[in-house]
Amino acid sequence: MKYEHKRQLTRDKIEGALIKVAKNKGIADVTVSDIIKTANINRSTFYRHYIDKPDLIDSIEDRVISDIKEANVELKSTELEYINTAAGKFVYKFLTVIEENQPILELLLSEKGDIRFTLKLIAFFNQMVDSTTEVFTDTMDEKKRKLFAAYNSSTAMGVVTFWVHHFDEYDKDYVYDFLMHRQY
């Protein structure tokens, strides 16, 4: 238990170093040497946790997507009569994941970030929206459902990207209220 806590602290330190260096250089130009120097760790410590820089980046990206998937589990199993309540819970959990990962998302979803992550996140959102909206899109043909999923995925991606870059101006409750009540 104590060992795993120490491992997590080291992973957090490595991730923080990646973010710090990449904000200036961009993810593509960050080296393992940059990361270990900024994190003030040994090279062997880095390699004890990650195979290489792409492994570190994939690990971070996969964790974020996994956290969003976890938030979506309850929504997928909800009966139609409770969908509004479940959707509200999902949106709040989803925004919490974004809030907890804001520093890395701000980087990944920027010009200095990783376009592969943006594409991976869009594909994930498409799949998630398509699988969770089958209940109330059952009257749509497959082409319309895919377009519906793409539309909603793009909206989610746009809101996430906007929020992580304007994080100091909008708190989670404000974004939640906007998304759930859309009173323009």
- pTM > 0.85: no
Domain map of the chain by residue range? 1-50, 54-181
Taken in order 14, 98, 160, 58, the sign of the CA dihedral is positive
pLDDT string in tens for the chain (184-residue length): 677 888 889 999 999 999 999 999 999 999 999 999 999 999 999 999 999 999 999 999 999 999 888 877 765 554 444 445 667 787 888 899 999 999 999 999 999 998 999 999 998 888 887 776 665 566 778 888 888 888 888 888 999 999 999 999 999 999 988 888 876 5
1-50 classified as CATH 3.30.70: no
Rounded Cα distance, 182 and 25, in Å: 38
C-alpha dihedral (35, 41, 43, 49), degrees to nearest 10 = -80
- One-letter amino acid at 51 equals I
54-181 classified as CATH 3.30.160: no
Rg (CA), the chain: 18
Rounded Cα distance, 153 and 145, in Å: 12
Are 118 and 109 spatial neighbours (Cβ–Cβ below 8 Å)?
yes
CB 100: neighbour CB atoms within 10 A?
12
